[in-house]
Structure 1
């Protein structure tokens, strides 16, 4: 953070709104990187959970 942003954050009566505003002001490149990492993270999450699911093991056991 820049020094001026820190000073403004201390003076602001509503710091939550200032934080929200700073998140919206991000550049398109930042949002692109965020989207790419989000998609990669979701892919890893679902691939890992599918391979390590206990439901898959339970379904492969024959019922009888």
Structure 2
């Protein structure tokens, strides 16, 4: 819930720091080169940011 509140308040830097702390505490690892971002997840994120993008393919790092 805290991440959603920070996102709504456009406090993206604070939200990023909180997410990093959560990832560190849970042992989550960042995507590695060759990793993929789910195209539906990416489309949902872009829609929240005011963009309208249809998922076409997985995004590779």
Query: Which protein is bigger by CA-based radius of gyration?
Result: 1
Higher relative contact order (CA 8 A, sep 6+): 2
TM-score bracket relative to the smaller structure? under 0.3
Q: Structure 1 or 2: larger helix share? A: 1
Q: What TM-score do you get using the length of structure 2 for normalisation?
A: 0.28
Q: TM-score, normalised by structure 1?
A: 0.27
- Is the strand fraction higher in 1 or 2? 2
